[in-house]
Chains A and B, each alone.
Chain A
């Protein structure tokens, strides 16, 4: 069991700082996902200040400039009650029941960077921007490692950074379930319960909930991003989530582009100017944060790990074969992928008669899968090695499982 005092104290402090920023700038919509978003606001601001301060300055100026036109939106959702917190608490408990020390390959890599970042991030940022700094993978965004260090109480202790990572995973779970709760009126607790059930009946998700791997948080925050457009006024939530996603992992950009492209299209169809603005602002903020980090890497002479190439269609057939081989592993996935496919087919079959956000979520899931597929076809040759030795495709599917959970739950 991990030590909880420091993560709780930092989370509370971040929420208070986020609430202060929210009070001044009106960043988040009301609802169940607001509290975790407030923590995320602080973490994202600290991340930008540490890595690309110019991007933070531009975004704060933009937020201040548009502040005058904002008014507090009415709450879509009633505040979540005991049932929500029991369901969310179950997932949080799984996250917090992780081993006190990292024991999986990549979590040791992520958290070795977190140790370097404690108590202050400058040492990690300097090493990441040094071609001989020894930070791997080269050029990777640093948000997860920095957030783990901060939430772990700014300590480089081996167990503290693991506790910080667990706190971040728990935060992503609560943000996701809050977004499921907020997504439409009526039977909110039923939807949350279904989303939790879909997640915990996928055995590999239980492994990732208790590990400092970034794939599940990416999936949870991408689904939260998609669901944030169910609020009548998403405000700056999509922007905050987009910056967090591109800071977590290179694939985060693919998710941001996919989710926000679909959100833009549906907002235009629904003639919702506020949602359309939020989607475009989110796209701009995500792209700015990603480009600013890549520019810093380029100016420091550090090669990015995932430099894009031209499309290699010859990879499609072997990748499809490997994907089919992985996806039929019942021990890893249970029936999650099959049930997700069924919910996806049902959404398209019923079209506009599908309930609430089902069709939008089905379209988003398709766009995410296409974006990840394109990233695989355009990525460096090493990706095919990773895919062949089994360390890539399953992780990408894990990134889609939260959207499958949201889609299945949306039918309630």
Chain B
């Protein structure tokens, strides 16, 4: 059975607000960058995230987020999805990652270098 992949992905209202603030504050130039960073952070932490809390806001087209399916490859390589949708899983990873990034904001500064050095809490 082939899983139908979504054409767009999103976040919870709260995570969306946080990610938008990061863009407004100039820490990321596009929401896509923050979204990918959040997925990367969650994967690096080996998280098995829960569902995205409702209400969910669709914010990105999958074709824009992952035009070469690199994110999908990374997720599939690191997570046994079974029959599950990779981009639905990506959404859950992003949700966790955005919340984690917000928690790690040190004096209002998103220290990406520190995230790279020590992704795990």
A and B, one complex? no
B-to-A contact residues, CB < 8 Å: none
